[in-house]
Chain A
Amino acid sequence: MSYEKRFDGRAFDELRPIDIKIGVIKNAKGSAMFKIGDTIAIAGVMGPKEVHPKHLRNPEKGILQVHYDMMSFSVSDRARPGPDRRDIELSKVIKNALEPALILNDLPETGVYLYVYILQANAGTRCAAVCASSLALAHAGIPMKDLVPAVAAGKVADKIVLDLSKEEEDHPEGATDMAIAMVPRGEKITLLTMDGNISDKELRQALEYAKKGCMQIYKLQKEALRKFLKGEEK
């Protein structure tokens, strides 16, 4: 059976609606909320500050620490509060997705601490986390070369699609999901996790979709930051 029309009526290469808010957490050095469809991520940055334990300190450059967690009520079946194995793996890949965009050499001996929480989960949480995080880092004034947009692309039944929803991920005929984060300057892919089963030709198409989606998100991220900074000036 062919997947003719997407469950939510989108075009196959269309993103879900996106909403961005900067500065949502007053006590954080930088913060952002990133909503894509029914997935909501909130990121907050603390620091740069002294690194503990001392042996993690690097005289050459600052370190980035990332903690990703899903709120217990963000999903249908309650997740136990606190990070589980998935959260710990994602913290690691999110850190490495963001680090290439940061200029940590400007922050020797210090640590930048990024905490990103999923308030509501409907697929694409790691990508939403990366999008929110890179905005929070920019808001915190951490030296950066670029923002980092992220989105998933993949295959639902027989169709290549951009930005899978939960319903699509759970399609009875199976789905392939590939999350991509990209530093737009130089089109550098800094996060890639994929699971499913897909031909090389289809994978190439999915990559193109993801790249296109990232560029659209990048534009929205820049707009949101610009709008926020304008509001700050007033």
Chain B
Amino acid sequence: MNNYIIGLIKKKIRPDGRTFLEHRKINITKDPSKYAEGSVIVELGKTKVAVGVKMGIGEPFKDTPNEGILITSAEFVPFASKEFEPGPPSPDAIELARVVDRGIRESKAVDLEKLCIKEGEKVWMVFVDIYVLNHDGNLIDAAGIGAIAALLNAKIPKLDENEEIVHGEYQGELPVVKKPVPVTFYKIADQIIVDPTKEEEDAAEARLTIIFNDDGNIVGMQKELPGYWTVDEIKSCIETGKRLSSKIRSEVLSK
């Protein structure tokens, strides 16, 4: 299979007829899960990811006494791929959650200072939980888009007089002020493509995720797989990624 894909890519052809720098159709379904503070299902071609936001109350970290806490996790549901096994999150699932978390955190997408209830004592905890439901490649982009879409969709629960959560009632929207968007590049036979299907992904020698903020700045990067990138390739990925991320932001994340 890998040789077949590599052969096609060398001829500048993708199995599904897309150009190298073209994403599959992105479809976002809002509120698939009504007890979440915010939730979405993102479909990127046949890749399908559910992301839910839950809020809780906790103690702030000592070095950020007036800031809420953001926690991102990812579960690879075993029916999503023959390669997934039940059990605790695999290194790939942990990496995915951490890369998505990095984008949200470094872009300052959520105004964490607005999530302080009582300085040094009580703050909101924002849990972003990712469930991969069907794996047909490019999970990082799907999960990253899903995470920011779910946050944009999320509301802050109401608190009663004892500062405890009133379930099902909300005081307002979660303060989401930036929309970081990851674009992941894959190198196959010295060609660079985005948004691979699983069969393309399996033929890739190197991967590079670049997360862009609204202003085009870069807020996170991650290189993976055993291959390498040249400086010129990285520069070209940044140029392309800037354009693609801004397109995705305006097409699927404009609230």
Contacts and interface: CB of A to CB of B under 8 A. Distances in A.
A75 B75 CA distance: 17
A45 B77 CA distance: 11
Contacts of A78: 54, 56, 127, 129
Interface in A68-127: 71-78, 81-82, 113, 115, 117, 119-122
B81 A117 contact: no
A120 B35 contact: yes
Interface stretch (B108-116, B131-139, B208-216): B131-139
A213 interface: no
A6 interface: no
B82 interface: yes
Contacts of B131: 71, 117
Interface in A11-59: 25-28, 31, 38, 40, 42-46
B54 A25 contact: no
A44 to B, nearest CB: 3
Main secondary structure of the interface of A (DSSP, over half): loop
B226 interface: no
Contacts of B32: 40, 119-120
A81 B129 contact: yes
A31 B79 contact: yes
A72 B127 contact: yes
A67 interface: yes
B199 to A, nearest CB: 12
Given A25-B134, A27-B134, A67 B86 contact: yes
Given A78-B56, A81-B75, A115-B79, A73 B134 contact: no
B249 interface: no
Given A73-B36, A73-B52, A82-B88, A28 B79 contact: yes
A31 B77 CA distance: 13
Given A25-B79, A26-B136, A45-B79, A76 B35 contact: yes
Nearest to A49: B82
A46 B76 CA distance: 14
B43 to A, nearest CB: 10
B91 to A, nearest CB: 16
A38 B167 CA distance: 15
B105 interface: no
Given A46-B82, A82-B88, A72 B77 contact: no
B35 A73 contact: yes
B78 A67 contact: yes
Nearest to B39: A73
Given A44-B77, A81-B75, A76 B167 contact: yes
B48 interface: yes
Nearest to B130: A81
